[in-house]
Amino acid sequence: MRKCYTGLKWTVLGPSHVPGADLTGKWVLISGGNNGIGREAALQFAAWGANLVLACRQPPPHEQHPDVVVRECLGRAKAAGKQGSKVEWWEVDYTDLESVEAFARRWLESGRVLDVLWYVLPCREMIVVHVCFVGGLAAMSPEKASPLPETVCHLPR
Q: How far, in whole angstroms, is CA 109 from its chain's centroid?
A: 21
Distances (CA, A) of 19 to 14, 44, 48, 112, 113: 9, 11, 10, 26, 23
- For 16-33, what is the mean pLDDT? 84
pLDDT tens column, 50-64: 999 999 999 999 889
Rg (C-alpha) for the chain, rounded Å, is 15
pLDDT tens column, 107-139: 999 999 888 888 876 655 555 555 665 554 334
What is the biggest distance separating any 2 CA atoms in the chain, rounded to whole angstroms? Answer: 44
Domain ranges in the chain are 22-156
State which CATH number among 3.40.50.720, 1.10.3720.10, 1.10.10.10, 3.90.1150.10 fits the domain covering 22-156. 3.40.50.720
For residue 96, pLDDT over 80 is answered with yes
